[in-house]
Amino acid sequence: MFELASSSIGGQALFVLPFGDIVAYFSPFTAALFLFALIFTLVCIYSRPEKSMDIVFGTDALYAKEVTGKDLHFRRFMAIACGIATMGAVTSGDVFNFTLFVSMVGVCIIGITASVKNSQVQNTAFNYGIVAMLATIPLFGAAAITLAATGTLSIWELSAMAPAMPWIARALILVGVMGEGMAPFYVAKAELTRAPGAPYVLMIHVSSLLMFLRVVEIILTV
Amino acid sequence: MIGYLIAAPFLGLLYMGIHRKVIARIQGRPGPPIWQEILHTLKFSFKETWIPRSASKILYIGIVFIAIAIWVGALYLVLLGGSLLMLFGIYMLQKLVEHGTGLSPGSPYSKFGGIRSVISASSELPLFAVIAGIYFFTGSLMISDIIQYQADNGPLLFSLLPAAIAMYIITLSKMHYGPFSIIEAKEIVSGYRTEHFGAWRAGLEISDGIRTVVLLMTFVLLFWGAMSPVMLFIAMLIILLSMSFVCAVSPMLSPYDSVTVQLIVIVILVAWMAILGLIA
């Protein structure tokens, strides 16, 4: 066991890998989040998408929407990239790396949905894209303010001198994560999830929730 | 620990049966026997089981095992006094399970249930207000430390009443037949679980049983503290009965009303907590 300064939040660190003052670590909390992201990434890799049943408007007929060909490959690739970025975000021991992974998740979510050939989904993907791009400003702003105020971006170091991260930086990083992927803040996101391809769409939800859980841990830790 | 694991699904299913019975009696109906949910689960366990042709097979099956795994994990976390942050993380991951269960078969009914689950995810946000409130009061998010704090300073129910109310609303939103149970409303058949039948449905019922125990036990331990197993059982039953009463007398809200009502109540409670924090 390695002594994490604020072990009363996510538990004692189980594994530590220092790179100078940047320390990558697993606590029981981040290990659980990592495992969850890994499971859903494996589901994306190995699972075929469902054939989403839709009613033909004005009739009783049903037809099955299929995700096939290039669309399938592209969306699977983006979902796997999203899963890897999420794993990075939940295990990163550095505020800047965390913000970088979070913005990568935002880009991947746009990729997962923007390739769906449905005007409603594309419209909401476009709206989401604007919000996600804007959200990078508070996200990286928070990292910049933290570095300027404390001289380090290491969560390990920051936790040792907590409360070190300025309140404005905490607020900004929270706003940034909400903008990048927090499902409840846009009903548009629920529209996005109407796209076919359950394993890939689910990755949007997985990444949003896990990023939010991690940012809460970071805010309380530093 | 194995004993708890075996007992938890049965106890949870029994609580769910009591919940149904109480709602029915308040509404002037005879209602099913209180062991009905246990019988349901046994019945589903032995029914013919297959996978719909339109389903995403790995996700369709995998999500049932994930549902059971996360609530077994949550049960152990509560019993071992682990991190509250991780426990509330599991509360939120339940939304993923609902979403995945709903999307995987390809059915429009279950898909609507899954999408309603995404919409209602905002109702989980108060969990973090509860976390913040408890952390600032007790200085720790380990459940064992919180229980010890209450042994030394008295129950948090009185000193942190807004957080207790917020937690009560969150627990209520996860109970069946409640005003916020939009994900399994009758107009979308059984909601996100419509296409999971046979052994898959039995698996989801077992996870629901364990979830019920975890939700009620967490509420009691967080806001009253440790007590003997018998007293814990009675305290959980009292909380359950109060929720059954709320569920029996309140109609199910429409999806957007459900989210709006929850958010308004929570904003008021968070403001109350902030004022308490400033005074302290």
Beta bridge mates, A63: A54
Question: For residue A189, is pLDDT > 50?
Answer: yes
* Number of residues written out for chain A: 222
Domain boundaries, chain B: 2-279
DSSP letter at A196 equals S
Q: For residue range B143-180, what is the model confidence (pLDDT) as tens digits?
A: 888 888 888 888 888 877 878 888 888 888 888 887 77
Q: Among A48-62, A65-79, B58-72, name the most confident range.
A: B58-72
| Angstrom distance (rounded) from CA A110 to CA B2 | 44
Per-position b or e across A63-76, b if 16+ CB within 10 A of its CB: eebbbeeebbeebb
- Residue showing tokens 């009691």: B220
- Which residues of B are less than 8 Å from A8 in CB distance? 139-142, 145
Q: Which of A35, A45, A53, A56 to mutate to test the interface with B (most CBs of B within 10 A)?
A: A53
| Angstrom distance (rounded) from CA A217 to CA A34 | 14
Q: For residue range B240-255, what is the model confidence (pLDDT) as tens digits?
A: 999 999 888 888 777 7
The pLDDT of residue A204 is: 84
- Average pLDDT of the segment spanning B43-50: 85
Q: For residue range B254-279, what is the model confidence (pLDDT) as tens digits?
A: 777 777 777 777 777 777 777 776 77
Question: For residue A1, is pLDDT > 60?
Answer: no
B 19-58 residues inside an 8 A Cβ radius of A: 53-58
- Residue showing tokens 């331990």: B221
Q: For residue range A116-134, what is the model confidence (pLDDT) as tens digits?
A: 777 777 887 888 888 888 8
Three-state DSSP class for B200? helix
CA angle B217–B225–B153, rounded 5-degree value: 160
Three-state DSSP class for B270? helix
DSSP letter at A149 equals H
Question: For residue A190, is pLDDT > 70?
Answer: no
Which residue pairs, CB below 8 angstroms and at least 24 apart, start in A166-170?
A169/A141, A169/A142, A169/A143, A169/A145, A170/A142, A170/A219, A170/A222
Beta bridge mates, A64: A53
Q: Which tokens belong to B232? A: 């814990």
Work out the pLDDT band at A184, boundaries 50, 70, 90: very low
| Angstrom distance (rounded) from CA A176 to CA B52 | 40
* Calculated CA dihedral for residues B255, B260, B263, B268, nearest 10 degrees: -150
What distance in Å separates residue A50's CA from the closest CA in chain B?
4
Q: For residue range A24-40, what is the model confidence (pLDDT) as tens digits?
A: 778 888 888 888 889 88
Under a CB-based contact definition with an 8 Å cutoff, are residues B103 and A196 in contact?
no
Question: For residue B235, is pLDDT > 80?
Answer: yes
The pLDDT of residue B238 is: 92
| Angstrom distance (rounded) from CA B75 to CA B164 | 20
Residue contacts between A and B (CB atoms, under 8 Å)? 128
The pLDDT of residue A4 is: 59
What distance in Å separates residue A170's CA from the closest CA in chain B?
14
Q: Which tokens belong to A94? A: 């550095």
Residues in Cβ contact with B269 at an 8 Å cutoff, skipping those fewer than 6 apart = B126, B129, B162, B163, B165, B166
Under a CB-based contact definition with an 8 Å cutoff, are residues A44 and A80 in contact?
yes
Q: What are phi and psi of A23, to 5 degrees?
A: -120, 115
The pLDDT of residue A38 is: 92
Helix (H) or strand (E) run with residue B2 in it: helix B2-26
- Which residues of A are less than 8 Å from B86 in CB distance? 10-11, 28-29, 32
* Number of residues written out for chain B: 280
- Average pLDDT of the segment spanning A87-98: 87
Q: Which of A30, A38, A47, A170 to mutate to test the interface with B (most CBs of B within 10 A)?
A: A47
Helix (H) or strand (E) run with residue B279 in it: helix B255-279
Residues in Cβ contact with A3 at an 8 Å cutoff, skipping those fewer than 6 apart = A12, A13
| Angstrom distance (rounded) from CA A6 to CA B50 | 48
Question: For residue A66, is pLDDT > 70?
Answer: no
Mean pLDDT for all residues in chain B = 83
Helix (H) or strand (E) run with residue A62 in it: strand A62-65
- Provide the residue type at A11 as one letter: G
Q: For residue range B112-124, what is the model confidence (pLDDT) as tens digits?
A: 777 777 777 766 7
Nearest CA in chain A to B67: A36
- Which residues of A are less than 8 Å from B60 in CB distance? 50
- Average pLDDT of the segment spanning A70-91: 86
Q: What is the number of other CB atoms lying within 10 angstroms of the CB of residue A96? A: 18
Question: For residue A203, is pLDDT > 80?
Answer: yes
The pLDDT of residue A186 is: 57
The pLDDT of residue B55 is: 79
Work out the pLDDT band at B133, boundaries 50, 70, 90: confident
Q: For residue range A142-163, what is the model confidence (pLDDT) as tens digits?
A: 889 888 888 888 887 777 776 7
Question: For residue A165, is pLDDT > 50?
Answer: yes
Closest partner residue to B54 among A64, A189, A201, by Cβ? Answer: A64
Question: For residue B43, is pLDDT > 50?
Answer: yes
| Angstrom distance (rounded) from CA A62 to CA A55 | 5
Q: Which tokens belong to B88? A: 């509330």
What distance in Å separates residue B143's CA from the closest CA in chain A?
10
User: N- to C-terminal Cα distance for chain A?
Assistant: 20
Q: Which tokens belong to A170? A: 């905490």
Percent of chain B with pLDDT over 70: 96
Domain boundaries, chain A: 7-221
Closest partner residue to B140 among A8, A43, A201, by Cβ? Answer: A8
Cβ distance A206 to B135 less than 8 Å, yes or no, reads no
Q: What is the number of other CB atoms lying within 10 angstroms of the CB of residue A115? A: 20
- Which residues of B are less than 8 Å from A55 in CB distance? 108
- Residue showing tokens 């039948």: B197
Q: Higher-confidence residue: A72 or A52?
A: A72
